[in-house]
């Protein structure tokens, strides 16, 4: 499989970050074969640290991963420019941002990989938190494979309020795509709350001992 086309800076920064992650975190990506080689796909990781987005992206070798990020981050000129270059979608977290959901849906329908954190914000204690309903809406509308992802170690490395990044073992586990029938996507009107509940259950199932 050829590498997906993306901004050259994306691949350069990804390569540098992966090298750092391998050395500093003994980074390990498990189950990457579960990510479809082509077509739209949603990655749904747990969220415990600012480290989660880049590490989830690092584990995906040949495809560009598009993220949703707080709109406030785009106000910083350099950061905003960088986010736009790599296809990051701004979202207003304090209200239902239909424009952001539509942008993410267009990206998925055009065959891109989009990463959504169902919990919305970072966990305060490292444990899984209740999911947000907007994720269920987007999954139901997109009708693309949903890959549950569990990121292990980032809360210990850099939790909320942490002052420095600790060199602990970090693993990203990509689970098998969730069957559409289990998500309720075969129904005319899927239950979004039930849908995200199924997603969270599958994220939890990816946890591995040790």
Is 90 exceeded by the pLDDT of residue 177?
A: yes
Query: What digits encode the pLDDT tens for the residues 9-57?
Result: 899 999 999 999 999 999 999 999 999 999 999 999 999 999 999 999 9
The DSSP letter of residue 110 is: T
Q: How many CA atoms lie within 13 A of 138 on its CB side?
A: 32
Q: CA angle 11-36-119, nearest 5°? A: 80
First to last CA, the chain: 32
Q: Is the separation of the CB atoms in 81 and 7 below 8 Å?
A: no
**Thinking of the domain 27-205, which architecture would CATH place it in?**
3-Layer(aba) Sandwich (3.40)
Question: Rounded to whole angstroms, how far apart are CA atoms 137 and 82?
Answer: 28
Q: What is the CA radius of gyration of the chain?
A: 16
Query: What digits encode the pLDDT tens for the residues 72-83?
Result: 888 888 888 888
């Amino acid at each position: 499989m050829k590498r997906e086309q993306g901004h050259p800076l994306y691949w350069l920064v990804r390569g540098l970050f992966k090298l750092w992650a391998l050395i500093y975190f003994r980074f390990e990506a498990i189950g990457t074969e579960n990510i479809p080689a082509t077509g739209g796909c949603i990655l749904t990781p747990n969220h415990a640290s600012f480290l989660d987005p880049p590490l989830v992206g690092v584990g995906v070798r040949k495809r560009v991963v598009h993220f949703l990020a707080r709109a406030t981050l785009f106000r910083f000129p350099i950061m905003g420019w960088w986010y736009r270059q790599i296809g990051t979608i701004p979202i207003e977290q304090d209200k239902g941002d239909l424009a952001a959901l539509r942008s993410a849906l267009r990206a998925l329908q055009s065959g891109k990989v989009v990463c959504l954190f169902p919990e919305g914000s970072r966990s305060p204690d490292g444990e899984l938190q209740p999911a947000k309903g907007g994720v269920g809406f987007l999954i139901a509308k997109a009708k693309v494979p949903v890959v549950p992802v569990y990121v292990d170690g980032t809360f210990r490395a850099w939790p909320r309020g942490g002052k420095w990044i600790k060199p602990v073992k970090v693993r990203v586990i990509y689970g098998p795509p969730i069957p559409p029938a289990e998500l309720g996507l075969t129904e005319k009107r899927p239950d979004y709350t039930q849908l995200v509940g199924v997603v969270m259950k599958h994220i939890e199932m990816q946890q591995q001992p040790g």
